Amino acid sequence: MDAALLSQYVVNGLMQGMMYALVAVGFTLFFGVLNVIQFSHGDVLMVGSFVGYSAIMGVIAVGIDNPYIALAAALIAAVTLVGLLGAVIARLFVLPLRSSPPLNTLLITLMLGTVLRESVRLFFPHGSHPKRFPPLLPTDSIAIGGFDLRVDSVMLLIAGLLVIVAIHLVINRTRLGLAIRAVAQDEETAMTMGINFRFVVLVTFVIGSAVAAFAGIMNGLYYNEINFNSGLLLGVIGFAAAIVGGLGSIYGAILGGFLFAALQTVGAVAMPFDSAYKDVFAFTVVIALMAWRPTGLIAERVSERV
């Protein structure tokens, strides 16, 4: 295999791993704070990509041809509106079911994902057809030691890394993060100490959903295409990554995301069968890992939850 093709596989694996990690972090935040599985999370990501696409089309429609202004508009619109969508989901569909069996929340968010997906398909103009996401980043390549790296891929990886660092700093270095960790560790004690439980839950859903919207924009920029159905598989993979990494651990979610992408890359490159089966290979290995380590690769400790 020549260096150019190998570099493409490596970069593609890193990009997929970054997107999976961002989705998995959302699942971990929701579970850590409220012990719920938000199964519409992948479709929230899809909504973010369509909101960003709409913002870009709006900027182009008013005659602004600066790609960075269009990208800024897409990010601001997607992160803001999808963050608010996350708060609405928490307020209307998750918090009212706090005292009900966890299966109820799982089912209602699963159905909500279908509502979001079908709403985009039915009400967005030509929503059932894939949309070409405009290439807003430089497409030049950088040659490093025989490897050709696309500038846009490097920029997206750096942006994803900055988001992960920002989440780490918010959770571990701010009063809000302290409140989130307190609620995750012991909800009743946190409320006794004066922490506004409802506010913490809403903010957590805003953060997780905003990060999913960012991942949706990344997905559109990297593949130059978005689809109303794309969030379904990304949500399943993100959830699997969170489980195999250790549901409740942000670092486990990140590890799980990159591990799943690495398995897909191995399935596409090193296995004797066609690369179309890379997802089958990756999920098979993940199933084996979950059977071997049911608590995840980074087992959750109550004192360090979230």
pLDDT in tens, 116-173: 999 999 999 999 999 999 999 988 877 776 667 788 888 999 999 999 999 999 999 9
Q: What pLDDT band is residue 271 in, cutting at 50, 70 and 90?
A: low
φ, ψ of residue 24 to 5 degrees: the values are -65, -35
Residue 103's pLDDT is: 86
276-301 mean pLDDT: 82
pLDDT of residue 303 exceeding 50: no
pLDDT of residue 280 exceeding 90: no
Q: What pLDDT band is residue 274 in, cutting at 50, 70 and 90?
A: low
pLDDT of residue 301 exceeding 60: no
Q: Which residues on neighbouring strands pair with residue 144, listed in sequence order? A: 147
Q: What pLDDT band is residue 302 in, cutting at 50, 70 and 90?
A: very low
184-211 mean pLDDT: 92
Average per-residue pLDDT for the chain: 89
100-106 mean pLDDT: 86
Q: What pLDDT band is residue 276 in, cutting at 50, 70 and 90?
A: low
40-45 mean pLDDT: 96
pLDDT of residue 106 exceeding 70: yes
Q: What pLDDT band is residue 272 in, cutting at 50, 70 and 90?
A: low
How many CB atoms are closer than 10 A to CB 257? 29
Residue 293's pLDDT is: 86
SS (H, E, C) the chain: CCHHHHHHHHHHHHHHHHHHHHHHHHHHHHHHHHCCCCCCHHHHHHHHHHHHHHHHHHHHHCCCCCHHHHHHHHHHHHHHHHHHHHHHHHHHHHHHHCCCCHHHHHHHHHHHHHHHHHHHHHHCCCCCCCEECCCCCCCCEEEECCEEEEHHHHHHHHHHHHHHHHHHHHHHHCHHHHHHHHHHHCHHHHHHCCCCHHHHHHHHHHHHHHHHHHHHHHHHHHHCEECCCHHHHHHHHHHHHHHHHCCCCHHHHHHHHHHHHHHHHHHHHCCCCCHHHHHHHHHHHHHHHHHHCCCCCCCCCHHHCC
pLDDT of residue 304 exceeding 50: no
How many CB atoms are closer than 10 A to CB 32? 24
How many CB atoms are closer than 10 A to CB 193? 10
pLDDT of residue 51 exceeding 50: yes
11-19 mean pLDDT: 90
